[in-house]
């Protein structure tokens, strides 16, 4: 049985839980589970990103704020946290000084925008992410929210692909 078929066959509660690891929004997870069956991985990703694109700004900020801050190692063992550690490996593998710098930059970002700095960190170095964070600290609030939405979209696309690996 293919991984998309397994996801399609999950009971509604299990599907919502699995999908919630991709995007920490109860509404998004519920609507994604209700849209099953998906014909393919690309149909799954298209549905997920479509729901994100239509998400109201207030919900978007709430969802972004549920993500682990860049450089902070959430060690609770949840699938989301394991994925976050994997995605942030370019930062988490660095020394104490760079992580302290990220903590300070994250504090400044949250103070300025009111939510967590969100970036699709997969494959990016700590220096690249730090430069991006510093740049984004100076963006207009509306531009930054659009940037954060685009980053969340990348993360959700990546994680929807991973959820198919996880349900095998």
Q: What is the pLDDT of residues 57-88, one digit of tens each?
A: 999 999 999 888 887 655 544 445 565 555 55
For domain 3-166, give the CATH number: 1.10.3330.10
Q: What is the pLDDT of residues 84-113, one digit of tens each?
A: 555 555 555 556 778 788 889 999 999 999
- Average pLDDT over every residue of 111-134: 92
pLDDT at 141 over 80: yes
Which of 9-18, 22-31, 89-98 is least confident?
Answer: 89-98
67 is catalytic: yes
Please give the Cα distance from 147 to 136 (Å, whole number).
9
User: Where do the domains of the chain lie?
Assistant: 3-166
Residue 63 main-chain phi, psi, to 5 deg = -65, -45
């Amino acid at each position: 049985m293919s991984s998309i078929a397994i996801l399609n066959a999950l009971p509604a509660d299990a599907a919502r839980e699995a999908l919630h690891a991709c995007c920490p929004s109860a509404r998004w997870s519920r609507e994604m589970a209700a849209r099953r069956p998906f014909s393919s991985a690309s149909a799954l990703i298209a549905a997920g990103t479509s729901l994100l694109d239509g998400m109201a700004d207030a919900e978007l900020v709430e969802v972004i704020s549920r993500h682990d801050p860049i450089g902070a190692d959430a060690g609770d063992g949840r699938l989301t946290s394991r994925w976050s550690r994997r995605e942030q490996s370019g930062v988490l593998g660095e020394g104490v000084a760079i992580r302290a710098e990220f903590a300070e930059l994250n504090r400044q970002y949250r103070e300025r925008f009111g939510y967590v700095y969100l970036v699709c960190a997969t494959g990016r170095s700590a220096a690249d992410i730090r430069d991006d964070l510093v740049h984004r600290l100076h963006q207009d609030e509306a531009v930054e929210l659009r940037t954060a939405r685009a980053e969340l979209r990348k993360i959700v696309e990546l994680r929807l692909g991973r959820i198919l690996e996880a349900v095998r």
